[in-house]
Copies of this chain bind each other. A is one copy, B any other.
Amino acid sequence: MTVRRAPTATPLPPSRGTLHGVGVGPGAPDLMTLRAARLIGAAEVIAYPTLAGGESFARAIAAELIPEGVTEVAMDVPMTVERGPAQAAYDTGAAEIAAHLDAGRDVVCLCEGDPFFYGSFMYLFARLSAHYDVEVVPGVTSVTACAARARMPLAARNERLTVLPGPLPANELRARIDGAESVVVMKVGRHLAKIRDVIADLGLLEAAIYVERATLGDERVTPLAEAPEKAPYFSMILITKGADPWL
């Protein structure tokens, strides 16, 4: 008679969770990807940045899909020019996320637009990707969302596209816009007057469209010449100097 022996009980190492950096798109909830929606709908722990202890735009986009009773990690990231306070906020957030991953829980980190395109997720990625499984789920960026809403094709065939952050100094913006074909200026906000002056000086005012809060209910799309005096952070200027897209 053969005795079947159970295998020796060697304790498995506790299985660690995966961190998902999930782009939730530009604003309209249905511009989220199917993969993002599935991950958020099944999440046990979600993380997101908040501004000044208050709102999280990323969480607001995903709100309808977030399950009841989920654990939330809110990272309060100050918008200061000095980087120290933001670094500290990401250190704290990364530690809190790591604790969940160590306990075997997956964490879904919500990111406006795309995680690797001017997204705060890259600071968490830098802190955690060497030690944990991290998956990045790309999202629709505000760049193509604004182009869609402005009805302005961005780039065709062999055209070049340049993406510039609005906080750059005027002389650098001038040089970069002058040498470019299609241009996207991100993060316009309080830099609007400076950027508009540069574009007007270059004789490009008529080629420029201003878009704020693209794809949301209070979206605004207007020629740059008619843009408001005060622009929110989520605003953008598009310039195309390319050829007629008929061809």
Interface residues of A (CB under 8 A from B): 23, 25-26, 28-35, 37-38, 83, 87, 114-119, 122-123, 125-127, 129, 134, 136-141, 143-145, 147-149, 151-165, 167-168, 176, 179, 215, 244-247
What's the nearest-Cβ distance from chain B to residue A72, in Å? 22
Residues of B within 8 A of A34 (CB): 29-34, 37
Known contacts A118-B156, A122-B153, A155-B118; A148/B136 CB under 8 A: yes
What's the nearest-Cβ distance from chain B to residue A52, in Å? 19
Establish whether residues A147 and B117, one from each chain, have CB atoms under 8 Å apart when the complex forms.
Answer: yes
| Bound: A2/B187 CA distance, A | 65
Establish whether residues A163 and B165, one from each chain, have CB atoms under 8 Å apart when the complex forms.
Answer: no
- When all copies of this chain in the complex are counted, the total is 2
Which of B139, B155, B156, B215 is in CB contact (< 8 Å) with A140?
Answer: B139
Establish whether residues A144 and B162, one from each chain, have CB atoms under 8 Å apart when the complex forms.
Answer: no
What's the nearest-Cβ distance from chain B to residue A242, in Å? 10
Q: Which residue of B lies closest to A187 (CB)?
A: B158
| Bound: A54/B29 CA distance, A | 35
Q: List 21 A-B contacts (CB under 8 A).
A: A23-B144, A30-B33, A31-B137, A87-B246, A114-B144, A114-B148, A115-B148, A116-B144, A117-B147, A117-B155, A119-B153, A122-B156, A123-B246, A125-B151, A125-B153, A134-B151, A136-B147, A138-B144, A141-B141, A155-B163, A162-B162
Establish whether residues A165 and B154, one from each chain, have CB atoms under 8 Å apart when the complex forms.
Answer: no
